[in-house]
Amino acid sequence: MAASVIDGKAAAAGIRARVAAQVPGFVAAAGRRPGLAVVLVGEDPASQVYVRSKGKATREAGMESFEHRLSPEVSQDELLALVERLNSDEAVDGILVQLPLPAHVDEQAVIAAIDPDKDVDGFHVVNAGRLAVGLPALVPCTPFGCLHLLKQQCGSLSGLEAVVIGRSNIVGKPMAQLLLAENCTVTIAHSRTRDLPEVVRRADIVVAAVGRPEMVKGDWLKPGATVIDVGINRLPTDDGKGRLVGDVDFASASAVAGAITPVPGGVGPMTIAMLLRNTLVAAHGRAGLEAPEDL
């Protein structure tokens, strides 16, 4: 039986609608709109597309969007000075510095400069640490979106075997923490893992976040597994436009899995939805208001 296809677009639209519905209450209580500042350094086409859609989604949710576009030659000090200005700007609840940054900029130093209470990406060590020890934290948007899809699909995740492929700070590591907090038995696999297909085969839940087009094949999967594909890879095509594929070979995997996210239309839309949610949560925290429960 073919797997059911998990509709990330619909799930994201639901979250965005819930966030937007909470904004007027915040405005009434705080006397201002929640504000998200997005910083883009350089002209990477993919980053430009992401930043444009983040700004649009922010405005559509009734929040203020502040966009800062900097030259690829910007110095580390100039970038840090901008982050400091945003940290002390009362109108800014969330700060997102789009990654990757140019090679001459120390990414970790920039992330460390962001006020953890405004770190809507959840990349600051304070938020990573809070997540690891089970304290309330701003959680990285992509794994948070994956978790939402998994809970929507599976209900309770308690006791399930989860294999996360990829160990990045942005996806793999926080994803593993989130699954552990849901009482999954978690394995983090990566490029040095021995016999990856065999490791993946024991998983009830597979999260693929390695950036290798169509790497995970159907015969790696336990029948009925739930597969979350975080990959976004563009393969060349004859017409020059390219074709987007994930880290999972959808054709073979969907014949074995119980449920699977498509690319595009799976995890991608969830990232922006969770960014808006994090911004609203950060805004409530900064205004001394209780964050609404039903986000």
The residues that touch ligand GUN, with contacts defined as CB under 6 A, are 96-99, 121, 141-142, 170, 271
Q: What is the smallest separation between the CB atom of 141 and ligand GUN, expressed in angstroms?
A: 5
Per the structure block, which two tokens stand in for 115? 């006020």
Catalytic residue among 22, 54, 93, 249, which? Answer: 54
CA-to-CA dists, residue 231 to 176, 213, 238, angstroms: 16, 7, 22
Q: What is the smallest separation between the CB atom of 243 and ligand GUN, expressed in angstroms?
A: 20
Q: What is the smallest separation between the CB atom of 97 and ligand GUN, expressed in angstroms?
A: 6
Q: Which of 226, 271 has the CB closer to ligand GUN?
A: 271
> DSSP letter at 100?
P
100 Cβ contact list (under 8 Å, min separation 6): 44, 47, 107
Q: Which of 50, 250 has the CB closer to ligand GUN?
A: 50
Q: Which of 98, 177 has the CB closer to ligand GUN?
A: 98
Phi, psi values for residue 49, rounded to 5°: -65, -45
Residue 114 CB-half CA count within 13 A? 27
> DSSP letter at 5?
E
Note whether 57 and 276 are within 8 A (CB): yes
- 98 catalytically annotated: yes
Q: What is the smallest separation between the CB atom of 242 and ligand GUN, expressed in angstroms?
A: 18
Catalytic residue among 121, 204, 247, 249, which? Answer: 121
Token pair 């948070």 is at which residue? 144
- 121 catalytically annotated: yes
Rounded distance between C-alpha atoms, residue 41 and residue 74, angstroms: 8
Using CB positions, name the residue nearest to ligand GUN.
99
Q: Which of 49, 135 has the CB closer to ligand GUN?
A: 49
Closest listed residue to residue 173, CA positions, set 227, 221, 131, 231 = 131
Q: What is the smallest separation between the CB atom of 220 and ligand GUN, expressed in angstroms?
A: 25
Q: Which of 99, 125 has the CB closer to ligand GUN?
A: 99
Per the structure block, which two tokens stand in for 243? 């074709």
Closest listed residue to residue 148, CA positions, set 282, 18, 3, 57 = 18
Catalytic residue among 22, 98, 153, 177, which? Answer: 98
Q: For residue 114, how far is the Cα from the chain centroid?
A: 18
Active-site residue numbers? 54, 98, 121
